[in-house]
Homo-oligomer: A and B are copies of this chain.
Amino acid sequence: MIDIKINDELSLNKENFMVIAGPCSVEDREQIVGVAKSLKKIGVNVLRGGAYKPRTCPDSFQGLGEEGLKLLVKAREETGMAIITEVMDTETLPLVEEYADIIQIGSRNSQNFSLLKAVSKYDKPIVLKRGFGNTIGELISATKYLSMNGNNKIILVERGIRTFETTTRFTLDVSAVPVLHEKTEYPVIIDPSHPAGVNRYVEPLAMAGTAAGSDGLMIEVHPEPENALSDSAQQLTIPQFQDLYKKVKMIAQINNKNVI
């Protein structure tokens, strides 16, 4: 497995397990800085938060845009956390790249080849989510677009696939972890929030993904999930996350991984 330097203090490699947490969307200064401080205190070093949101319907909240990016930077300044946020198109890519420490490509853009090519021109760490309709083979092919200009700082995310089962929003494919480890040199992290769909299933999925040998987690946490502007049902509260974090640490240790 390759070694990916996130910032001066943080590297993701086969000995580490990286926890990324934060709200689905950046909503305002108080929300993002507040949640960042709480998470940092628990031990989290990478903050997620969406500024540009890919929403199924055009009348859903579309994110704060550049204002959201600036609020993420505030949170970084106040906590020292690295920040990761999603890029949705080539127009806003230069902005996202300027502000973020890690560029995220979402599930619905996993085969947006024009975007992959554009991102490949930068030298930032990239988080690439598996498209929920994509095979593992297609995910690996997508990494070839990202690395075509020499950047191999790619982190893969399993976030659930489309199946016939409807009691969860998507079906988390935990076997993607060992399969991807066998077929690529990139770290593989688990997003338990999107397959769960509701917050009471997030913990078991997070623990399952960790035990399967993943190299990290990306979890949605919100100070007040019931008032969130997006993905309200599936975000964890701070105390829920704190409980989970403890258990995940113990499981990561069994896999000889150091939580960062």
Contacts and interface: CB of A to CB of B under 8 A. Distances in A.
Contacts of A178: 200-201, 204
Interface of A: 54-59, 88-91, 108-109, 111-115, 117, 131-138, 141, 144-145, 148, 161-168, 171-179, 182, 195-196, 200-201, 204-205, 207-213, 247, 250-251, 254
How many of these chains are in the complex?
4
Contacts of A162: 133, 162, 164
Contact of A161 (B112, B132, B136, B171): B171
Given A136-B165, A166-B135, A251-B251, A175 B90 contact: no
9 contacts: A58-B141, A91-B114, A161-B163, A162-B162, A167-B179, A168-B175, A178-B204, A204-B211, A207-B254
A241 B166 CA distance: 33
A233 to B, nearest CB: 15
A163 B171 contact: yes
A141 B178 CA distance: 31
B167 A195 contact: no
Given A56-B138, A112-B112, A210-B211, A174 B177 contact: no
Contacts of A171: 161, 163, 171, 173, 175
B132 A133 contact: yes
A172 B136 CA distance: 15
A148 to B, nearest CB: 5
A80 to B, nearest CB: 30
